[in-house]
A and B are shown apart, each in its own frame.
Chain A
Amino acid sequence: MLKLLQQLYKRKVAFAGFVFMVALVLSALLAPWVSGSDPLEINPIERLQSPSASHWFGTDNFGRDTWSRVIYGARMTVITGLGVVIFAIFFGVLFGTLSAYYQGLGLVLMRIVDVMMAFPSLLLALVLVSILNPSVINVIIAVGITYLTTTARIIYSLTLKLREEPFVEAIISAGAGHFRVIARHIIPNLISPIIVQATFIFAFALLQTAALDFLGVGLPPEIPSWGNMLTEARMYITRAPWLLFFPGIMIVLTVLSLNLVGDVLRDRLDPRFQDDVG
């Protein structure tokens, strides 16, 4: 772990990304204290004010404080992002390892995964949310399903390779059951690629949920997420450009940080991984 931080520190830009991520998670956790005011408090007298000492990021059309909303948006980002990551990784690992282990099942499951990959992810999420109705959980499920398939694919090919490793053969011939082999020997060897994959899924999930918000089928509009803020900002594009700027730049910085850190993790944790996903 310490070595990893040293590695990160050597690549200044990636380190900056790491610091940004830590700051983001901290402000998400401590949102009520960091924000300084209520993100939902309506104040018609102070509507559409440009950034100032009392409102760092200005105010929106209801006079709500943009800084506070951006901080609470960070909280929403962490919740949906982690939700998607956990959902996609859990089911991706489950389907991936089982498919590689039981070839008959794998034939069917991987065929379905192949087909799912032909569906553009945003379209799939769009249709799923419209069927499930917009809510935080349903957005997580709809976006998660699209990354479940890619995760299952990667885990599948890695597990196939692991299965042929001498140490796995040795454990099987020593009489270990299937469950034991998968839980104790296959999955621990998949941890590194899973961590790397998680950073990229988080980044894509943020872009995807923001796009869903913008299309009007994402998180319910009363929730202060960055995507919802940008959707509202669209109406005031000439009168209040700062409403368009701050949430947008937050998305960019977050995705950039995740990708930078993800690249370092990939180089550090698993050099083989690069070959497997191209």
Chain B
Amino acid sequence: MIPTLFISAVIIFSFIHLIPGDPASVMLGEQATPEQVEALKEHLGLNQPLYVQFIRWLGNVLRGDLGQSVFFQEPVTKVIASGAETSLWLASISMALILFLGIPIGMLSAIKYNSFWDQAVSGGAMFAAAVPTFWLGLNLMFVFAVVLGWFPSSGFPSIVESGDFTHLRYLILPAVTLAAPNSALIIRLVRASMLDVMKDDYVRTARAKGLSEWAVNLRHVFRNSLLSIVATLGFTFVALVSGTVVTETVFSLPGIGRLVVQSVLRRDYPVIQGVILVIVLLYLVINLIVDILYTYLDPRVKYDD
């Protein structure tokens, strides 16, 4: 995990230095005076040798200092924190939708293999995986917010500040948008891994010893297919992040995803670096949890060192 983190730090650090020409003048735009450019260069430490810059940056990151946003003139950590609430709500609601809809639907498809239900679900999942997230979002917005008026079309007032949980209705359309393609993936995954396990000998044994169909499917088939589902959690997280970027932009939600897009358009590289660093960290933590869950779910897996 430590080498991985180090390599990601190098990659993230080098983003700013990949910019052709002078990063400071690119960030400030064409109207900037030479004095302003020089001041920003000084501020970002761009006049120092590369390795000094890297060590200084890494040292700051380790102390929790992600630098200063060029646009907001505020610490990057503060800027990221301001978008965290929206993104966390959105991600948790979508994750709940994905797991509580995706897993049972996938299970049922596997149990009723090749039935009409199974074929309808497989077709639906294939379709959902082909729909661009932003197009789905725009369509849902058009039908349910503009035409029917059931939900608000954009924005999200803070729940933490107002304590008003009815604000969650702002997140229903975005959460469905975000959940749809990812549920499709989970459905296909659950179905495939359950079908895989069903062929195993111990499933036949479980049936032969007279267990009910429910017990066989839940305790033996599902539990063993959980392994491959858990293994892809890291991947699901990454897909969810990409989806969040698009969804928050479609529905104008004040979250981290939209922050990244705006920072890219504003060329606010300290913010971009900070957000990507946080995401990579989260990804590594999730993979660590996956490894731990793995040893719990499958006692044969042992990590000795």
User: Which residues of A are interface residues toward B (Cβ below 8 A)?
Assistant: 111-112, 114-123, 126-127, 130-131, 203, 207, 210-211, 214-217, 230, 233-234, 237-238, 241, 244, 248, 251-253, 255-256, 259-260, 278
What are 24 of the A-B contact pairs (CB < 8 Å)?
A: A115-B8, A118-B4, A118-B234, A120-B245, A121-B242, A122-B245, A123-B260, A126-B261, A127-B276, A131-B20, A203-B130, A207-B132, A210-B134, A211-B242, A237-B141, A237-B142, A241-B142, A248-B139, A252-B131, A252-B132, A255-B129, A256-B130, A259-B126, A260-B126
Which residues from B are CB-within-8-Å of A214? 132, 134, 246, 249-250
Which residues from B are CB-within-8-Å of A210? 132, 134-135
Which residues from B are CB-within-8-Å of A241? 142
Tally of A-B residue pairs with Cβ under 8 A? 124
Please tell me if the beta carbons of A115 and B7 are within 8 angstroms of each other in the complex: yes
Q: Give CA–CA (A118, B280) in the complex, Å.
A: 6
Q: Give CA–CA (A189, B95) in the complex, Å.
A: 40
Q: Does B241 contact A (CB under 8 A)?
A: yes
Q: Tell me how many residues of B have a C-beta within 8 Å of chain A.
A: 45
Q: Known A-B contacts: A126-B264, A210-B134. Give 20 more (CB < 8 A).
A: A118-B284, A119-B11, A119-B276, A120-B241, A120-B242, A122-B245, A122-B246, A123-B260, A126-B261, A127-B276, A131-B15, A210-B132, A216-B261, A230-B132, A234-B138, A244-B142, A248-B138, A251-B130, A252-B127, A252-B132
Give the interface SS of chain A, mostly helix, strand, loop or mixed. Answer: helix
- With both beta carbons as reference points, the residue of chain A lying nearest to B239 in the complex is identified as A120
Q: Does B19 contact A (CB under 8 A)?
A: yes
Please tell me if the beta carbons of A230 and B8 are within 8 angstroms of each other in the complex: no
Please tell me if the beta carbons of A123 and B4 are within 8 angstroms of each other in the complex: no
Q: Mark B1-41, 1 if CB is under 8 A from A, else 0.
A: 00110011001000100111000000000000000000000
Q: Give CA–CA (A241, B265) in the complex, Å.
A: 28
Q: Which of A122, A244, A260 contacts B242 (CB 8 A)?
A: A122
Which residues from A are CB-within-8-Å of B267? 130
